[in-house]
Amino acid sequence: MLITLIGYRGTGKSTIAPRLASKLKFDWVDADVELENYTGRSIREIFATDGEPEFRRLEREVLVQLLKRDRLVLAAGGGAILNEATRKDFCAAGPVIWLQASVETIAKRILRDGSTTHHRPNLTATGGIDEIRRLVTLREPLYQECATITVLSEGSSVEALLQRIILQLPAEYRKEICP
């Protein structure tokens, strides 16, 4: 049993994953952190030295291994859904939860999280809110393609968000939930 969290950077995947995993008695992993551990380099550095195609190749390698695990909540990188095979693998592995947030909320969250800007590069020349708006629009159909559960990750507490997610999970995932 595996649950994948998808969504743009700043939608709450790394915040929700450990808490959801704890409730389900699963392990959890942040795919971006795993990729950095695997390569020994930050995502920003990989983009700067090798470019996005090499980053996406490495991301796919890491995800193929992670998707073999059981009882795992996987916080996928925001662009992982760009790879068609990865989208299919996410769907085959178990429920896929798409965390959504407004462009403005995403921008605020990214600015608040200094580690995000330190480790992750701008993906377009413009950066900022224009980049977020453009990429969210481009990626939205891909997130939608593989999402089995869609949840707005703003406007409520983390606990309320977790409850909404848990209630939508198939029964076999909920049977060992910690109170």
What is the average pLDDT across 117-122?
A: 49
Q: How far is Cα 156 from Cα 177, in angstroms, rounded to an integer?
A: 21
- Percent of the chain beyond pLDDT 70? 91
Confidence of residue 124 (pLDDT cuts 50, 70, 90): very low
- What is the chain's mean pLDDT, rounded? 90
pLDDT class for 107, splitting at 50, 70, 90? confident
Q: Which CATH superfamily is domain 2-174 in?
A: P-loop containing nucleotide triphosphate hydrolases (3.40.50.300)
Mean pLDDT of 88-95: 97
Predicted confidence at residue 118, as pLDDT, reads 47
Q: Quick check: 56 pLDDT over 60?
A: yes
**Statement: residue 115 has pLDDT above 80:** no
- Please give the sequence-ordered ranges of beta strands (E in DSSP) within the chain, or none if there are none: 2-6, 27-30, 72-75, 96-100, 149-152
The C-alpha torsion from 143 through 144 and 149 to 151, rounded to 10°, is 70
Q: How confident is the model at residue 127 (pLDDT cuts 50, 70, 90)?
A: low
Residue boundaries of the structural domains of the chain: 2-174
Q: Report whether pLDDT(110) > 90.
A: no
